[in-house]
Structure 1
Amino acid sequence: MLFLNAVIETVIVILIVIGVFFTLLSAIGLIRLPDVYSRTHAAGKSATLGVMTIMVAAFLYFMSQGIVNAKILLAILFIFMTAPLSSLMVNRSAYRSGVPLSKNTIGDDLKERYED
């Protein structure tokens, strides 16, 4: 039993470290990337993964204490569904309102779709 608790705690710590890494990576991407499109991509993907792994760690912690919390599972599901979609919508809104692309952008795949 003691060995199993140590393994569960180790898994929880590893998940938290991974989540913090992805969240930090997202914050660095928001600061360093050149345009709104790259920034929302960084925030939408890596922040979602970071928050989800931290919430999985929280779920495992409560589960090891004998508490099954369905609210955490629902939060993980909703974040998984809504965060990437919201970053996509911010990107599309920025594009349709005329926010310029970065100078280093090679292709513009949406140009044909939204030409007047």
Structure 2
Amino acid sequence: MPLYLEIIVCVLLLIGGIFLLVGSYGLARLPDIYMRLHSPTKASTLGITGVLIASMILHSYLQEFISIKELLITLFLLITAPVAANMIAKTAIHHEIKAKEKTRGKELINSMRNRDAPPE
């Protein structure tokens, strides 16, 4: 395997691993559900994307044709992660889970719960 491909794969794996580590740490440390939604939907999605693209590059080189499986998995994750986060947030609002003191946009949570127009 050429050196430049090894470097590209290693860099993508390192970047993906760092994003996954930050996303996992944020999921464990952030105080309420509204803040915790950002960690897995943003950092972890970018992390798994880096790992899957590195895998796609490696398998494409080893098999001598473009590996599409990893690309499809990446697209599926990039599409479904925001939708899942939206559904989790709506469920938390429906069950009237209180936001912590430091959470921004609490007035939006209350207006959504009451189905009012957002405040201007």
TM over 0.5: yes
Counterpart-to-counterpart distance in 2, 1:11 and 1:80: 22
Larger RCO (alpha carbons 8 Å, 6+ apart): 1
| Cα contact 2:35–2:103 (8 A) shared by 1 | no
Q: Secondary structure of the equivalent of 1:68?
A: coil
Give the match for residue 33 of structure 2.
Answer: 36
More divergent stretch after superposition (105-114 vs 82-91): 105-114
Counterpart-to-counterpart distance in 2, 1:68 and 1:24: 29
TM-score, normalised to structure 2's length?
Answer: 0.86
| Cα contact 2:12–2:53 (8 A) shared by 1 | yes
Query: Can you list the C-alpha shifts for 1:15-65, whole angstroms capped at 9, x where unaligned?
Result: 000000000001100111010111121111111010011000000001122
* RMSD of equivalent CA atoms: 1.5
Counterpart-to-counterpart distance in 2, 1:49 and 1:56: 10
Counterpart-to-counterpart distance in 2, 1:90 and 1:8: 39
Give the match for residue 101 of structure 1.
Answer: 99
Identical positions, percent: 28
Equivalent residues in 2 for 1:1-116 (5 A)?
Answer: 5-65=2-62, 66-108=64-106, 109-115=108-114
**Cα 1:19–1:45 shift into 2, 3 Å:** same
Counterpart-to-counterpart distance in 1, 2:4 and 2:29: 37
Counterpart-to-counterpart distance in 2, 1:64 and 1:83: 29
Letter in 1 for 2:102: N
| Cα contact 1:37–1:91 (8 A) shared by 2 | yes
| Cα contact 1:16–1:54 (8 A) shared by 2 | yes
Structure 1 residue runs of 4+, over 2 Å off?
none
Deviation at 1:68, TM superposition (A): 2.2
Ranges in structure 2 where 5+ consecutive residues have no aligned partner: 116-120
